[in-house]
Amino acid sequence: MSLSERQQAIVIGTLLGDGCLETNGRYVRLRIDHSQRQKRYVFWKFNQMHKLTSGKPRFVKFYDKRTNRIYKHWRFDTISSAIFVPFKNLFYINGKKQIPLNIKRLLFSPLSIAVWFMDDGYRRKDCKGAYLNTQAYSEQGQRLLQEVLEENFKIKTKIHWACGRPKIYISSNEFDNFQNLITSETIPCLEEKLL
């Protein structure tokens, strides 16, 4: 079993965004989990990866006692497979997701950037700029991502700080280039992220 180039690009974009890898038995599986509002996006990812899954996306609800709210999601898991082990070794240290040091060699497809943005990006309401929610990553990891975006895709970005955490900002001047890069790979139900 192997990943096609397209599937590999989707996996990389997903891991930069909301996806997670879990050890399950001998091997590793990829979990895709998005809010109910992104149901069509979950099914799009499922259709791209369906040969690596054992079941269709399922609806899940869970109660978070910290916020006293019930959250509704759509989720699916891939099968556990050795093909995901190298990704786990690259993207995780001591169980915590990180940016691999060789991200420049991994992140070269506009599809990966589109998936990353559909997972974790949004437009500002007050201008044409946009953010990639990278707060979970170290500042060093985000600097690596900035270098890759500039060197591999000619997109210059900045680091903005919010609540003591950095995240990647795409300025109004750069957003047209960014949009041109990912528009053809952005699925219709998430095009509002680009408007």
Digit-coded pLDDT (tens) for 71-97: 999 999 999 999 999 999 999 999 999
Helices (H), the chain: 5-16, 39-49, 85-91, 103-106, 110-120, 139-153, 172-182
According to DSSP, the residues that pair with 77 across neighbouring strands are 31
What is the residue range of 136's domain?
Answer: 5-194
- DSSP annotation of 31: E
How far apart CA 90 and CA 119 sit, in angstroms, is 20
pTM of the model: 0.93
- Position 36, amino acid: Q
Backbone dihedral region for residue 63 (phi beyond 0: left; psi -120 to 50: alpha; all else: beta): beta
Q: What is the pLDDT of residues 149-161, one digit of tens each?
A: 999 999 999 999 9
Share of the chain above pLDDT 70, in %: 97
Q: What is the CATH number of the domain that holds 172?
A: 3.10.28.10
The mean per-residue pLDDT over the stretch 132-137 comes to: 94
Look at the chain and report how many structural domains it folds into: 1
State the Cα–Cα distance between residues 28 and 24, nearest whole angstrom. 5
